[in-house]
Amino acid sequence: MQPNQSIQKSYVSLKLPRPVALLVTYVQSVLAAMTNNPHFPSPTPPLATILAAVTALLQAEAAALARTRGAVVVRNDAKAALVTLMHQLRATIQATADADPENGAAIIQSSGLPARKMPTHPARVFAVKAGALSGSVDVVAPTAARRASYEWEYSLDGGKTWVDAGPSLQAKKTISALPVGTSVQFRFRGVTKAGPLDWSQPLALMVK
């Protein structure tokens, strides 16, 4: 039994420009892409709210460039408000993409924002496989806790009796000197600061 293979998940890449003029152009392109976009019939925040924030920022920037007293503070506040709205919009886009992972990248790109893919690894499951050397078996287990040790046992008689294979500080171990051509069962249990957990259900493997 092999652990699950990693899968690809698409993420929204939100790289907002720092200069106000470039930020406004960037946001306007996203608004254009999301207007009447069937993937986002009712985005949060509403596009009208973001458009109003863009307008407010443009007005505040004009006043700041004209050196109007106190305009820089107003401009900075307006910019921060727009950035906050864009991060909220990013969360909406991400949630929509997560709901349809097979089309996640296309959904993100349709919003006017770029998508990036990163491998995500499913939770590790208890698994056994043939080791690199004859008569050895590699066993892996789910992580029991941030700080835990692991106890391993194997059985040569279908689970009637169990042989201690020694503990490990990692959730994996190579068990050696097993009889080749024999079906062997393996089990483990995590040991945390609260004490030992229950033994796992056994897994069987024909030793090679």
Identify the pLDDT of residue 2.
Answer: 41
The verdict on residue 1 lying in a domain is no
Residue 137 lies in a domain: yes
Distance from C-alpha of 137 to C-alpha of 132, rounded to nearest angstrom: 8
97 and 35 part of one domain: yes
In angstroms, the CA 67 to CA 61 distance is 10
Q: Which domain holds residue 184?
A: 127-206
Q: Is the pLDDT of residue 4 over 90?
A: no
Domain-embedded: residue 34:
yes
Same domain for 140 and 101? no
pLDDT value for 54: 98
Residues 28 and 114 in one domain: yes
Which tens digit of pLDDT belongs to each residue from 163-190? 999 999 999 999 999 999 999 999 999 9
Tell me which residue has tokens 């608004």.
31
Under DSSP, the state recorded for 140 is E
Per the structure, how many domains does the chain have? Answer: 2
Residue 104 main-chain phi, psi, to 5 deg = -55, -45
**51 and 34 in a common domain:** yes
Residues 105 and 131 in one domain: no
What global pTM score does this model have?
A: 0.57
Angle at 159 between CA 157 and CA 165, to 5 degrees: 90
* Span 53-88, pLDDT tens digits: 999 999 999 999 999 999 999 999 999 999 999 999
Q: How far apart are CA 193 and CA 79, in angstroms?
A: 49
Q: What are phi and psi of 172, to 5 degrees?
A: -160, 160
CATH of the domain at 159: 2.60.40.10
Mean pLDDT of 193-204: 96
- Listed residues 94, 120, 146: the one ending a domain: 120
